Amino acid sequence: MADANLANVSNVEFLLILGCALLLVFSFALAATTFGAWRRAARVQTEQALSQGRLLLEQLADIGGTLRATAQTVTQLTERIEHPVTPAAPSPGASPGYQIAIRLARGGASSEELIRGCGLTRTEAELVRRLHGPSRPELRQVS
């Protein structure tokens, strides 16, 4: 009977040791899985942080470019304010080209003749013709 108790104690101890071993293996597998998941999550977070950092650097570079352009514009405006460009004083009376154009317009010259002969632009030639050309009778009636 002592042998039977010894065998029962051995079986019980063996089962306890086997249970402890299984528990240790299960705990190790659970720890390994959890650690792997933690590493993957850390890697994803690191990649997100790096991507956000790159985005911030790009935005910072854009802001820097805008700031440089703004500084350049402010510098130009400051120079304009400090050193204003004075327009050339107009000559007393019309230039000789306009004098000739006025005489030609009074004589009935067309806009094309004023452009070719006096070097006026089309708009200038039409204005000189309207102001100094022979008046039309139909315009007098309307007035």
- The answer to whether 109 and 128 are in contact (CB under 8 A) is no
Residue 90 CA neighbour count, 13 Å, CB half:
4
Nearest to 103 by CA among 133, 140, 143, 74: 133
Quick: pLDDT tens for 23-32: 999 999 999 9
Which band of pLDDT confidence, cut at 50, 70 and 90, is reported for residue 3?
A: low
Please, is 104 exposed, middle or buried when counting C-beta atoms within 10 Å of its C-beta (0-12, 13-18, 19+)?
A: buried
Q: Scanning the structure block, which residue is given the tokens 């659970």?
A: 30
Domains of the chain by residue range:
1-83, 96-138
Quick: pLDDT tens for 45-57: 999 999 999 999 9
Which of 43-52, 93-102, 120-129 ranks highest by mean pLDDT? Answer: 43-52
Quick: pLDDT tens for 68-98: 999 999 999 999 888 876 655 545 555 677 8
C-alpha to C-alpha distance for 63 and 142, rounded to whole angstroms:
62
* pTM check: above 0.75: no
- The answer to whether 120 and 101 are in contact (CB under 8 A) is yes
C-alpha to C-alpha distance for 117 and 134, rounded to whole angstroms:
18
Provide the token pair at 140.
């007098």
Predicted confidence (pLDDT) at residue 130 exceeds the cutoff of 80: yes
C-alpha to C-alpha distance for 143 and 136, rounded to whole angstroms:
11
C-alpha to C-alpha distance for 57 and 50, rounded to whole angstroms:
10
